[in-house]
Structure 1
Amino acid sequence: MMRLYLATGSSVEVMQGVCDEAVRSRVIWIDLLEPSPAEVRFVEDMLSIDVPTRDEIVEIEASSRLYEEADAHFMTAMLLCRAESESPELTPVTFILVGPRLVTLRYADPLPFRTAAAQIQRNPLAWNSGETVFVGLLEAIVDRLADILEGIGADLDRVSREVFTTDAKEAARQARDYRQLLARVGRDGLMIGKSRESLVSLGRLVAFATTAFKVKDRKGLQTRIKTISRDVISLSDHASFLTNKVTFALDAILGLVSIEQNGIIKIFSVAAVVFLPPTLVASIYGMNFEVMPELGFDLGYPMALGLMVISAIAPYLYFKRKGWL
């Protein structure tokens, strides 16, 4: 699908599909979402560029993601997509600046693109060229990553409160939810890893774009780009901090699981020690020998029962006094 954004004075018009020669001069942004071969050829003929293929934009080397051909700047970044779902993923998005026009090539629909499209309709004067659209998209992408990291931080704080609760009833309930807590922390760690990868690619893209805007002498856009660069750096630092919180939460949960398992093993060990002496007494008096002094004793049976009870109570009282129970 190809969506064209055309500047029409104080507003921006949106149209889909191929346009005619009369309106091509007003195009400021061409958004290609899973484009067809015909749409790719239209963009190539209109702007005299070679649109990279899907296989080319997924390559990880910097020379394939950030390069310049003639007057066109090609920049590819990995963006986080489907962040609220159970299977978030990174998708490559290519930005092509050709003079005052912007071309975006993508095979997924990250939220910042929908946000930018809505903002263009609300405030078209602030999005009156491909360069301003490009910078606005970067700002929307960074804001989205900031929101994601804030949500992860809040979730990790909730996990910490649940893990380190001092309420006995709440702790007993949480003892049955360690698997769920581990799943939440694991997903937060996955999201942080993908966010950091996206921030790294964005940092490289912003550095490349800064050089491009210096050449064009666009001081206003340079200032906004520098702000985006600082935001990317601060978010990267915050992601590193959240990574440490994930590690701490995992260690704490696994430590509590170990404590709970040790408590269970302790109970079984005490039970075994408590019942071992009565079992010994019962085994002795259960031997089938003809000559046993207690066989003819009238009170032998009550005596054996008494010995078994005493031998069970004595270890229990001893453990209780030592504080092992």
Structure 2
Amino acid sequence: MIVDSALYRDGVRVAGGGDPPDYATLRAGVRRPGDFVWLGLHSPSADELAEVADAFGLHPLAVEDAVHAHQRPKLELYGESLFLVLKTLWYVDDTDQVETGEVNVFVGADFVVTVRHGAGSALEPARLALEADPRLAAQGPSAVVHAVADRVVDGYLGVVAELQTDVDEVETSVFSGLRTRDSARIYTLKRELAEVRRAVQPLREPVRRLAGGQIALVDGDIEPFFRDVLDHLTRAAEDVDTMEALLSSAFEAHLAQISVQQNDDMRKISAGAALVVVPTLIAGVYGMNFRHMPELEWTLGYPFALLLMASVVAGLWVFFKRSGWL
């Protein structure tokens, strides 16, 4: 599906692509230095992307990656064109899960084609922000790549902030002293952090190349903006590492607390069993049917047995209480 298509001249949008757009006509509008086309697609079919590839001369390997999606974040050069893959992330409050999508960016000297997969991280805000700053948009396709990357990485920071809230809740629960079942949630959060890591870590090197003047298609005036994106990306990666370590520590503490709680339970069970076993022993001895037993004919034998049981139980209870077993 074609989301938007436009021709930009001196940083100002001057024409759209029509509905449906005529790709050849749209690209033919590029007549002066600085003119460029930005075409945005969402989950296109193979036939739709093939038409775009013919009009803009996209490399078939890059087109194949964009059709099938599920690619690792990467930056590849094909002749005079650039192919960038970014993972998009968004947080679902209802399920406390991180969902993923993908943005493929084809960049040439006078065009940018963005192919988006997934429901999250719409690129319309990035387009509107770029169109609101003609001076930045005048930098051409480099400015579009920055706008897309900045939008995606800002999405990472939002997801990381949501996960940080969840990690804080788990920490509070683990160290609350209550009997909680946090292992399942800790595992879920570690899995979601792994999903974020798969999007963040591989993207650091491509953005570093874009910020370091290693790509000829990137305008020198845009490189500082990519350094800002790299800074945000590094912060997100560090936050993920920190949360991973905190969850590992919380899980170990949770297991230690379970072990301590089990030991406390066993001590209490043992103490309770002792309180029952001693009077049972006395009653068992006096309940045996023998003719010749000490104090069998004694008038106070029964009260004495009961008093003995109560005294021993009381003594054991005091002892266990002082020992912390009860």
Does residue 73 of structure 1 match 2:82? yes
How far off its partner does 1:92 sit? 3.8
Alpha-carbon deviations, 1:179-202, whole Å to 9, x = none? 2x4444333323322222211121
Separation in 2 of the partners of 1:43 and 1:96? 11
How far off its partner does 1:32 sit? 2.3
How far off its partner does 1:138 sit? 0.7
- AA matched with 1:103: V
Change (3 A) 1:15 1:287: farther
CA RMSD of aligned residues (A): 3.1
Aligned to 2:101: 91
| Secondary structure of 2:222 counterpart | helix
Alpha-carbon deviations, 1:134-178, whole Å to 9, x = none? 11111112212122223323333344344445xxxxx5xx43xx2
How far off its partner does 1:133 sit? 1.8
Separation in 2 of the partners of 1:299 and 1:279? 19
- AA matched with 2:157: A
- AA matched with 2:6: L
Aligned to 1:156: 167
Change (3 A) 1:253 1:121: farther
| Secondary structure of 1:52 counterpart | helix
Q: Where do 5+ consecutive residues of structure 1 fail to align?
A: 166-170
TM-score, structure 1 as length reference: 0.81
- AA matched with 2:319: Y
| Secondary structure of 2:123 counterpart | helix
- AA matched with 1:196: R
Change (3 A) 1:254 1:131: same
| Secondary structure of 1:4 counterpart | strand
Separation in 2 of the partners of 1:33 and 1:56? 13
How far off its partner does 1:113 sit? 2.8
Separation in 2 of the partners of 1:163 and 1:79? 31
Structure with higher helix content: 1
How high is the sequence identity, in percent, across the aligned residues? 23
How far off its partner does 1:278 sit? 0.6
Does residue 141 of structure 1 match 2:142? no
TM-score, structure 2 as length reference: 0.81
How far off its partner does 1:36 sit? 1.9
Aligned partner (choices 13, 34, 37) of residue 28 of structure 1:
37
- AA matched with 1:131: S
| Secondary structure of 2:89 counterpart | strand
| Secondary structure of 1:218 counterpart | coil
Q: Where do 5+ consecutive residues of structure 2 fail to align?
A: 31-35
Separation in 2 of the partners of 1:303 and 1:184? 57
Deviates more, 1:265-274 or 1:297-306: 297-306
Aligned to 2:33: none
